[in-house]
Structure 1
Amino acid sequence: MLAPKLIIPATGTVIDLATAKQQCRVDADVTEDDALIEGFVAAATRHVEKTLDMALLKQTWRDYSCRFNGCIRLSKAPVITVVNVKFFDGDNVQQTVNSADYQMLVDAEGAYVSFGSSWSAPSIYDRPDAVSVDYEAGVDGADKVEPQIRTAILLHLAFLYENREMSLDTVMTPTGAYETLIWPFRKTVV
């Protein structure tokens, strides 16, 4: 399976600049570190998304498979909707699967595309990206991101801001709060 591809990135941020500055104990009227803080917000957000294999704000992803299986697992969570399922036919021409022939389901391992029992898989061209699924994942608005995840991002942001320069004589010991906050959102593997 090829790595998932981000098709349409999220717009907006999980943490706004005012909240980020408050977390970093920077006065609202001080603007000299605004770009730095916004960069740390983006880095902390991407770190959580990568660690949890999640999309926090609404974005569109593409997952690939080299063949049709009974189901195709979707790598990002939470999935909002499947946009389309496409495949390269035996002549290496891209085709679109009729949306009536599949549905999105969710089990303990996450979301997946399931094809109906009456649907028979067509012959496909032998290539690693023979089948692709485009889907929207995330939530629609920063206020809908789980509070624990928002808090983890804020903790990470403050850590990055406070420790933005390397020091060989300082040992930084994590409190465990960040890991505790994101732990319930880690994917379970059955």
Structure 2
Amino acid sequence: MFCSNCGEKIEDSSSFCKNCGAKITNNDKTERVQLKCKECGGVMTADSSNKTLHCPYCGSSEVIVYGDAVEVERIRNDTYKEMEYKKWEREDEKERKAEKKKADEAYRKSGFGVVAIIGAIICGIIAMGEFSQLRYSSRLLIDAIISALQTILFVSSVLFRKGVIKSPTQSLPTILTLVGLILIIPFVVFAY
């Protein structure tokens, strides 16, 4: 069936038109036919009980012949709409990819990405070394914990930025890197 307000094809069980939002009444439940006018190319819509279509644009009339031509026109209209939706989806996807690429490039240019990767490597090595030395000195426990926390922050920053883990905000990777860098202060204080 078709919406009586905009002519959009709608599901039989629908209460509202997905295109214009109009409420579907019992009058809309009849099968509607849409054909292009042979004179001007305008779209003519009528319910299936009518035997004649009248073009609202040029005033010409056309007898409805139910059969292959009507079905072909229905399929053509549905296919065109589906192609338009897919085109919009592709454009939206392109825009999302462009925004992500732009954000990634800004992150790389800021230097936080490089700092996070280098910080993760250095802090990971330090944490492993300090955890292996714990049996010789309990003082290294705080240093080992701080180094492990920094490693987690730097690695999380990289994973959020690369999209491996979904980030609630775009600034979260930068914040994690900054917190990891700030934790150098207690690390240095407890180390000496």
TM-score category (smaller protein): under 0.3
Larger radius of gyration: 2
- Decide which structure has greater helix share: 2
Question: Greater strand percent: which structure?
Answer: 1
TM-score, structure 1 as length reference: 0.23
When the two structures are superposed, what TM-score results if normalisation uses the length of structure 2?
A: 0.23
